[in-house]
Structure 1
């Protein structure tokens, strides 16, 4: 799995964004059935000319399609939309829908993996209790948990659990949906002569997260990927860490506590 990916939620120019990203070094694209752009991801991949085998593509099944048969059908439809034979990673999009349905959906993804339709199985927006539910059911643990994650919402109990159990933490909304006027963030941005988005992405990388910044602008897509030529010092990382507001710092739905 690459260490940085392109998110494509609410991207009306998804194919072009994917093409630009792939031509500028990105090798991971994060989509979902809810985004309704799986087909456009496939178009962008083909237009880029980059070999599909070298690209890590993710999708997710929404809770409205949970349940063994519905999730199995959803995976097959996702593959049809993409226009390639498999996904590298496929997630349950959230823990909504209740225990029985989400476990059935997860089991369907494991069976899709066994059938070669997807290469790895993960979850998104899962709290510790939801991951423990998978363990208690005797199922293979997820390889990824994708959650909202940035300095204002650090999801510490979830991150601690994932790291302890060798589950990769992917960070969605790493750029605070553009609300980057925090004075500490701006101070550190000026110190390193980097824009605030690059500081946020670098913060994720130095915490061993896999950030998934999104943009439809070519210049932003390119600059968001230019984060490997500097390192944030420990003292400045500590300043960013101190911004944590817990769950109140979330800027999206963040359903990690659902029953």
Structure 2
């Protein structure tokens, strides 16, 4: 089932696969088995975090997959409470993941106001040291992104935020686009009523599942997706998004499900 997945280029030229595999709430055994399954199915982007406490299992799965490290885009995240010893936390993450670099390191959510810039400087320092290829943030507003950029002259490559049809906010998306910040959407399926008649109708027309329709809709907006499942068949269907095309009318109908504004 391996297929080439669409990518978006980050500022340093790294290709970020638009379809990633999320590992939030996956316990050690499930994290290992699910990541192994995801990599066998064709995913080449895996997302974890210090908070998830499964970095070692994710790292072991990547190693045991037989893929070259360069073939897998690996992300982890720094908890704000670890900001004061960010480099030590990163070194621990690298050791647990069994790698000497990350493709992307994110600040998991905003720190206290007085640590916003210093924490960002720690990530930039790690990038300059070659420990991470790209750095970014998660759960930040465009205003906070601007604050970091203005203070350091260097902008986050990525902002990972909740996104779903109900949370669709074209103005917010445009704010990120204008800055050249890639949006990664999380909890897209969790925050969606998959029994909504708009979604079930579109799914039926295309011979797809409502979940596949929602994930494909994200891709139509060039939003990186991070679906998570511990069931291999679900892991596979979440990746299998190229067998159908949403029409412009389909996309507009899903956009209209927004509850923003």
Scaled by the length of structure 1, what TM-score is found? 0.91
Which residue pairs with 2:248 in the alignment? Answer: 234
Aligned residues: 244
Please tell me whether the aligned partners of residues 22 and 48 of structure 2 are also in contact (alpha carbons under 8 angstroms).
Answer: yes
RMSD: 1.3
The answer to whether the aligner puts 1:205 opposite 2:224 as a matched pair is no
Structure 1: which 5+ runs fail to align? 248-259
How far does residue 73 in structure 1 lie from its aligned partner after superposition?
1.3
Which residue pairs with 1:24 in the alignment? Answer: 41
Which residue pairs with 2:63 in the alignment? Answer: 46
The answer to whether the aligner puts 1:10 opposite 2:10 as a matched pair is no
Which residue pairs with 1:255 in the alignment? Answer: none
Scaled by the length of structure 2, what TM-score is found? 0.90
Note the alpha carbon deviations across 1:65-103, whole angstroms, 9 max, x for none. 123xx11111111101101101100000111x3222122
Please tell me whether the aligned partners of residues 165 and 192 of structure 2 are also in contact (alpha carbons under 8 angstroms).
Answer: no
Alignment of 1:33-72 (within 5 A): 33-67=50-84, 70-72=85-87
Runs of 4+ with deviation above 4 angstroms: none
How far does residue 177 in structure 1 lie from its aligned partner after superposition?
5.1
SS at match of 1:137: helix
Please tell me whether the aligned partners of residues 79 and 107 of structure 2 are also in contact (alpha carbons under 8 angstroms).
Answer: yes
Which residue pairs with 2:107 in the alignment? Answer: 92
Alignment of 1:163-182 (within 5 A): 163-176=177-190, 179-182=193-196
CA distance in 1 between counterparts of 2:169 and 2:50 reads 25
Please tell me whether the aligned partners of residues 4 and 211 of structure 1 are also in contact (alpha carbons under 8 angstroms).
Answer: yes
